[in-house]
Structure 1
Amino acid sequence: MASTTKEVATELLPLIRVYTDGSVERLFGSPIVPPSPDQNPETGVSSKDITISENPSISARLYLPILTPHNQNQKFPILVYFHGGAFCVESAFSLFSHRYLNSIVSQANVVAVSVEYRLAPEHPLPACYEDCWAALQWVASHSAGNGKEPWLINHGDFERIYIGGDTSGANTAHNLALRGGTESLPGGVKIFGAFLSQPYFWGSKPIGSESKEGHEKSLSSLIWSLVHPSATGGIDSPLINPFGPGAPSLAGLACDKLLVCVAEKDMLRERGVWYCDEVKKSGWKGEVELFEVKGEDHAFHFFNFETENTKAMIKRLASFLK
C-alpha cells in the first residue's frame, strides 16, 4: 500500500508548513467569524462582507460606526486596513481582525474597509500589494459617485482617507503610501494619514540589539524568502528594507500624518524606531509620531485583547484617526 505521508518542503513554525506537492497547511490563525449586519452587541458597529474584484479575488469586510440622530448625516473618515500575518496567515474575516476593527471603528467613528487580499505562498508577493492597491482604488472611485457601496457614498469623507495595518499589514501600508506619491488615485483622492503598527521591516545586516548570530536564518528573514522568493535584492529589497540599496526616499510618502507604533520587547521594534527617525530626516513634509508600548511583545494587542496596554494602544489609534 502506498504511503500517504506527504513530504515537507518548508516549515516556518509556528506559522505555516508547505509540502512538496504544493499544498499548504496554515498552523496559526484565529477562527473565521461572521460580520454583524445588525450591529455588534458590544460596540454597536455594523459590518458586512463585500466583493471588490472577482479576478483576482479581492474582498473586504466593511464597518460602519453607530448612527445616531446627531451624526447620521455627517461624513466619517475612511480607514482602509490591511491585516497582519506575515503575508501568509490570518484574514480580514478572522476573530483577531474583527474584534480589533470593531473596537477602532467604535472609538474613532470611522468607516473601515478591512481588505481580504491573496496570501502567500500560493500567491507570492507582490500579490498582496497589488490587491491592497486595487482595494484603495476601489474605495477612491466612490468619491466621484462611480462606486456602488452605499456605506462609502453616504457616510465616507474622501478628504480624510487613512491607510493602516499591523506587522505585514503595516509594511503594506508603507509601500502603498510610497506608491501613492507616484501614482494617482481615482477622483484625485489623496491619502490623508497612515498608521504602521509594529511594522515588518528587515534587512541583511542586524541593527541595534538585533542578534548577530543567525540573523540570516531568523524568522523575519525566512518569512520574506517564502512570501517573496523573487524579490530583487532579496531581504534588502526596498519593499522590506526601506533603507536598502535603491530604496526610494521616504520624503515621497504620500500622506500628511504618520503614526508608527512599536512594542518594547518586539524583535521588530528597532526597525520601527529607525523608520520613524529616518522619515523625520528625509525632508518629508508631514507630521510623524512614535508610540511605544512598554513591556509588550509582537502583536500583543491581538493575543491579549482585554489588557490595559491593548486598550491604550487602540485609544491612541482612535485619537490619531479622529
Structure 2
Amino acid sequence: MASNLNEIVTDLSPLIKVYKDGKVERLISSQYAPPSLQDPTTNVSSKDVTISPEISARIYLPNNINPNQKIPIFVYHHGGGFCLGSVFSFIHHRYISLLVSQAKVLAISLEYRLAPEHPLPAAYQDSWAALQWVASHRDDENSNVEKEPWLIEHGNFEKLYLGGDSAGANIVHNVVMRAGVETLYGDVKIFGAFLCQPYFWSLNSRSKGSDEGKEESNIAYRMWMLAYPSAPGGIDNSMINPMADDAPCLSGLACSRLFVTVAEKDPTREREILYVEAVRKSGWKGELELFEAEGKGHGFHLLDPEDEEAKIQMGLLASFLMY
C-alpha cells in the first residue's frame, strides 16, 4: 500500500507544518514590500543585492547625508525561529526603514537560508559569509567579490554593528562568539551587537506560567529541533543555550558594546535575563546595556512600531548605533 505523502510529520501550528513528501507550509507571513530609492515616509533609499547564490540582502541608506559621509554599518538578522520570516516582508522592511531614518546608519538586512529545507548550521554559515562580504569592502583591492558602492562610499568600518530579533539575535550572538576565534577580512572588528529578545532555550527552561510537564511539548524546544535536528546536545547545544556546561566562555564575545532588550511577557525572557547575568559574570570587558519593555510580548515592536514601548526601544537602539 502506497504511503500517504500528504501526511503531516511535524505540526507546529500556528507557525509551520512539514509534510511527509518534504513540503513545508508556513502558516504566518507578511506581505512583500519592494525596495525604494526614496521612501516618502522615511526618506530612506533601499535596494536588493545578491551576496552569493545562497544569500541575498536588502541595503538601506538615509538620503539626508553628505555625498562622502561615512556612517555606522548595521548588519541585521530577522527572526522567525530559523524557519520563518524574510527581510523582504513588509514588517521587517518597515522596521529597518524607520531605524535607518532615525539612527542614520547604513543597514544590510540579510536573507539567510531557512530550515527545515536548509537545517542549521546553514543560517549561521550564511551570516558569517555575509559578514565576510561586508568586511571585504573595507579595502577596495585584493578581493574577488563584486563590490557594493554604498558600502565603499558611506560605510564606517570602525563602527560595524550586528543586530537581530529572536532567532536573528541568536545568530548574532553566535557570530560574535565566532569572531572571537576567527578573523574577519581585513581584520575588521565588530564594534557593537544588538540582541532583541534573543531566542535562547535549554532543557530546564519553562515558559512563564506554563504547567507543561514535558519539555518536548514546548514550542521553543520543538522549533529548535525542527531547525537543527542533528544538533549535538539537542536543546542544550551551546548555540541555543549559551550557558550550557560545555559552552564557550562568554568573555569571548568579540565586540566592545552589547545592547540586549527583553519583553516582560516574552516566554524566553527568563533565559535572556540569565544570559545578561552570565555575560556580566564572565569577565567580558565590554559595555552592556539592558532594556525591558513592560507588559509586552515577543516581537511587539515589529507588529506595532507606534507602540510607546516600541518607540522607546527604537530610540535607545538608535542612540546605541550613533555612539
Classify the TM-score, shorter chain. Answer: over 0.9
How far, CA to CA, are the matches of 1:319 and 1:126 in structure 2? Answer: 32
| Deviation of the 1:194 alpha carbon | 0.1
Unpaired runs of 5+ residues, structure 2, are none
Task: Identify which of 112, 135, 142 aligns with 1:140.
Answer: 135
Matched, 1:251 2:248: no
- Asked if the contact 2:207–2:267 (Cα under 8 Å) also holds between the matched residues in 1, the reply is no
Q: Deviations over 1:195-222 (max 9, x none)?
A: 0000000000136956463351211000
| Deviation of the 1:148 alpha carbon | 1.2
SS in 1 for 2:191: strand
| Deviation of the 1:285 alpha carbon | 0.7
How far, CA to CA, are the matches of 1:148 and 1:211 in structure 2? Answer: 50
- Asked if the contact 2:205–2:271 (Cα under 8 Å) also holds between the matched residues in 1, the reply is no
Aligned to 1:67: 64
| Deviation of the 1:133 alpha carbon | 0.6
How far, CA to CA, are the matches of 1:3 and 1:282 in structure 2? Answer: 52
Matched, 1:31 2:31: yes
Structure 1 stretch displaced more, 121-130 or 265-274: 265-274
- Asked if the contact 1:204–1:215 (Cα under 8 Å) also holds between the matched residues in 2, the reply is no
| Deviation of the 1:273 alpha carbon | 1.1
Q: Which amino acid aligns with 1:99?
A: R
Q: Tell me which stretches of 4 or more aligned residues in structure 1 moved more than 4 Å.
A: 2-5, 207-210
Aligned to 1:183: 182
Q: Deviations over 1:275-319 (max 9, x none)?
A: 111111100010011111101000011112221121111111111
Matched, 1:98 2:98: no
Aligned to 1:174: 173
Q: Which amino acid aligns with 2:118?
A: H
How many residue pairs get aligned? The number is 316
Aligned to 1:108: 103
How far, CA to CA, are the matches of 1:119 and 1:274 in structure 2? Answer: 27
| Deviation of the 1:96 alpha carbon | 1.2
Q: Deviations over 1:7-44 (max 9, x none)?
A: 1111101110100000101001211111012x111010
- Asked if the contact 2:138–2:152 (Cα under 8 Å) also holds between the matched residues in 1, the reply is yes
Aligned to 1:155: 154
Aligned to 1:262: 262
- Asked if the contact 2:5–2:19 (Cα under 8 Å) also holds between the matched residues in 1, the reply is no
Q: Which amino acid aligns with 2:155?
A: G
SS in 2 for 1:298: coil
Aligned to 2:282: 282
Q: Which amino acid aligns with 2:258?
A: L
| Deviation of the 1:178 alpha carbon | 0.1
How far, CA to CA, are the matches of 1:202 and 1:130 in structure 2? Answer: 21
Matched, 1:81 2:84: no
Aligned to 2:118: 123
- Taking a change above 3 Å as real, the CA distance of residues 95 and 298 of structure 1, as seen in their structure-2 partners, is same
Q: Deviations over 1:80-128 (max 9, x none)?
A: 1100011111101111110000011111110000000000000000000
How far, CA to CA, are the matches of 1:206 and 1:4 in structure 2? Answer: 36
- Taking a change above 3 Å as real, the CA distance of residues 321 and 211 of structure 1, as seen in their structure-2 partners, is same
Unpaired runs of 5+ residues, structure 1, are none
Q: Which amino acid aligns with 2:119?
A: P
Alignment RMSD, CA only? Answer: 1.7
How far, CA to CA, are the matches of 2:45 and 2:3 in structure 1? Answer: 49
State, as a whole percentage, how many aligned pairs show the same letter: 58
SS in 2 for 1:279: helix
Q: Which amino acid aligns with 1:285?
A: K
Q: Which amino acid aligns with 1:144?
A: D
SS in 2 for 1:309: helix
How far, CA to CA, are the matches of 1:302 and 1:215 in structure 2? Answer: 31
Q: Deviations over 1:176-199 (max 9, x none)?
A: 000000000001100000000000
TM-score (norm 1): 0.95
